[in-house]
Structure 1
């Protein structure tokens, strides 16, 4: 039975680990499903209650701080069309999870997009309801419940808007559910820091020698294209029934993502490339809250104010040129000789702020990239 190690216990690592373990759609009961592979997750950080995640020491555990929702991003080229395909597959999978596992932390709701005139790119301006809703056409986006908003429904300063069916998750509820499901199906989890995928190839774990590695580390182990994008948001207790994203003419963003499951609402946010500052700015918090209240006054409730829980700072590992999603063959000693037992490493990192909304599509691609190597080792092996 092939043994695959997944580096990273964020949303990409957990989704890939479940997919490799043989998670079906729709899934069969654990006691009836045959596990075709041995899968071990190796990570420094694992999901835990959001209330106890240490913002200082776990600032790089991006899945704890992620937006964790699905947005409309009209594709404009081959790379973004591929990502949109991943988003649609993830959308279908997450809706299925919500239907079968209400405890998983998923909420189905309406998503709203607002764009100011200076942010209105052609991909949005030219978007028609027919194209947005089209499920089968080559240019269709398959957006459920899509509706263009008339001018009377737009807040002041907004030039274009739409709404559609979407989902969001409470990140640590969702990730903890995936980790429990992974363990229930026979997966193993090891808490350990990793410096390089070749290090893992040389290990001897409980599952036996390592046959393949999935690098879902987020930061990519020295990839020169990877940089951090600092994000500051504010978690408030105020409930909100929709997720709202506003792209402002000055390049900034104003948004909210409801957490549900007693998780409050995230108000954001900033996107600051190459900013390593771990400390939240009170001035930025005030600006974020003020701008969102101007966009959606109902968030203030009958008391007319925000109930602030905490400021949040996280670092998104972003990659110039887009995510890295490919396989390469490495050997454990790194010298290219046969004595290092060449084995595949599938890289799946650098998704920036889109990890949750692309997660299951990426997991399917990881399985497809691993498939030929596992078949060569064990004829008939399937993922």
Structure 2
């Protein structure tokens, strides 16, 4: 049984570990942060975590990963209700507004319209009074990050994965870091090491990796919106309103807790919320809410929060490299740089990682 060491316990690392375990590999996951940890260094818990593609048709591989993720989750939602509840995934209507006046399914930006369920264009008369020029709607997948990460971790443990908590020397060479990781194993017998360090890869091995700072708010809306849906407007910066709750949406709108945002601040490492940014988010969200919740809806801020997405010039890196570790070649599979699409890339990206592991081991 081949042994694979996965470094990193974000959504990419844990999904990859599960796929490897399902295919008969022995897996060890080594990480500094785990589900339940709220460190700014741990990106996955801070995500909006919805299927909302921003990929363009010429990003062929990324589009394919996102197709796979959408189909995988929808299949579970439609056929495995108990499993979907454990995972914290839900079918949710989404409304997407755009500053682009084109409203044609043939437009490249709408490459996904034949993939998603219930796709429809929004008539101009139904758009909010300020800002958006076009819009569309469809049925998407909303993920509760805490539940989903915990599910992946629990499932990996149940399949026999070993978990090791350790801090690795990120500022050292990739060779020294891999050596340090292997030293935590009882025997240095991992045939493949998978680097799922996310933003940490910027210090470890790749200057093309950079932070994309996202500031968001957890809020309560009163009176609650009449329907539970996701609303996104591709304004600059982006504006979104996501239901953030555990109870099924069929239970009604009584739980009016929402995750709103946001920002895409490239190269900014600041972990602290900025009050003026929070105020701007609230003002933009109120504009989008007009005609949906009513003019008198009140937004109570429960929490301000910041996450740092792992961006990368050139897009995600999922590829093999032979790394010299103490005179021995170690097969390292890099898998990072998914920016704000970690969840929706995770299924397809993990499947590619599995194929590359199989290739590496011949």
Q: TM-score, normalised by structure 2?
A: 0.86
- For the residue of structure 1 that corresponds to 2:74, the secondary structure is helix
CA 1:225 to 1:160, structure 2 compared with 1: closer, same or farther past 3 Å? same
- For the residue of structure 1 that corresponds to 2:65, the secondary structure is helix
Instruction: Map 1:276-291 to 2 at 5 A.
Output: 276-291=269-284
- For the residue of structure 1 that corresponds to 2:322, the secondary structure is strand
Q: Hey, what does 2:20 align to over in structure 1? A: 20
Quick check: 1:73–1:84 contact (8 Å CA) kept in 2? no
Separation in structure 1 between the aligned mates of residue 180 and residue 316 of structure 2, nearest angstrom: 22
2:140 counterpart of 1:159 = no
- For the residue of structure 2 that corresponds to 1:152, the secondary structure is helix
Separation in structure 1 between the aligned mates of residue 68 and residue 342 of structure 2, nearest angstrom: 13
2:80 counterpart of 1:95 = no
2:346 counterpart of 1:359 = yes
Quote how far apart the aligned CAs of 1:124 are. Answer: 7.5
CA 1:124 to 1:330, structure 2 compared with 1: closer, same or farther past 3 Å? farther
Q: Hey, what does 2:32 align to over in structure 1? A: 44
Q: Hey, what does 2:191 align to over in structure 1? A: 211
Quote how far apart the aligned CAs of 1:279 are. Answer: 1.5
Separation in structure 1 between the aligned mates of residue 230 and residue 40 of structure 2, nearest angstrom: 24
Quote how far apart the aligned CAs of 1:72 are. Answer: 3.5
Q: How large is the Cα RMSD of the aligned pairs?
A: 2.5
For structure 1, the 5+ residue unaligned runs are 24-35, 135-141, 334-339, 376-383
Quick check: 2:55–2:62 contact (8 Å CA) kept in 1? no
Which runs of 4 or more aligned residues in structure 1 lie more than 6 Å from their structure 2 counterparts after TM superposition? Answer: 121-125
Separation in structure 2 between the aligned mates of residue 148 and residue 9 of structure 1, nearest angstrom: 38
Quick check: 1:300–1:306 contact (8 Å CA) kept in 2? no
Quick check: 2:53–2:66 contact (8 Å CA) kept in 1? no
Quick check: 2:31–2:165 contact (8 Å CA) kept in 1? yes
Quote how far apart the aligned CAs of 1:128 are. Answer: 9.7
Q: Hey, what does 1:149 align to over in structure 2? A: 122
Q: Hey, what does 1:245 align to over in structure 2? A: 232
Question: Which has the larger displacement, 310-319 or 191-200?
Answer: 191-200
Separation in structure 1 between the aligned mates of residue 335 and residue 19 of structure 2, nearest angstrom: 14
Quote how far apart the aligned CAs of 1:74 are. Answer: 5.5
Any idea what the Cα deviations from partners look like across 1:224-252, whole Å, max 9, x if unmatched?
A: 1011111100011336611111112xx31
Question: Which has the larger displacement, 263-272 or 146-155?
Answer: 263-272
Any idea what the Cα deviations from partners look like across 1:124-166, whole Å, max 9, x if unmatched?
A: 882698x6543xxxxxxx2221111111111122111001110
Quick check: 2:278–2:304 contact (8 Å CA) kept in 1? yes
Question: Which has the larger displacement, 89-98 or 354-363?
Answer: 89-98
Q: Hey, what does 2:45 align to over in structure 1? A: 64
Q: TM-score, normalised by structure 1?
A: 0.81
Q: Hey, what does 1:272 align to over in structure 2? A: 265
Separation in structure 2 between the aligned mates of residue 312 and residue 214 of structure 1, nearest angstrom: 30
Q: Hey, what does 1:175 align to over in structure 2? A: 149
Question: Which has the larger displacement, 177-186 or 277-286?
Answer: 277-286
CA 1:124 to 1:346, structure 2 compared with 1: closer, same or farther past 3 Å? farther
Quick check: 2:105–2:113 contact (8 Å CA) kept in 1? no
Quote how far apart the aligned CAs of 1:97 are. Answer: 3.9
CA 1:342 to 1:229, structure 2 compared with 1: closer, same or farther past 3 Å? same
- For the residue of structure 2 that corresponds to 1:227, the secondary structure is strand
Any idea what the Cα deviations from partners look like across 1:46-77, whole Å, max 9, x if unmatched?
A: 001xxxx44xxx11211010121111435231
Q: Hey, what does 2:240 align to over in structure 1? A: 255
CA 1:9 to 1:204, structure 2 compared with 1: closer, same or farther past 3 Å? closer
Quote how far apart the aligned CAs of 1:303 are. Answer: 6.9
2:206 counterpart of 1:223 = yes
Quote how far apart the aligned CAs of 1:122 are. Answer: 9.5
Q: Hey, what does 1:199 align to over in structure 2? A: 179
Question: Which has the larger displacement, 258-267 or 211-220?
Answer: 258-267
Quote how far apart the aligned CAs of 1:341 are. Answer: 2.7
Any idea what the Cα deviations from partners look like across 1:75-98, whole Å, max 9, x if unmatched?
A: 231xx2211110110112222444
Aligned residues: 336
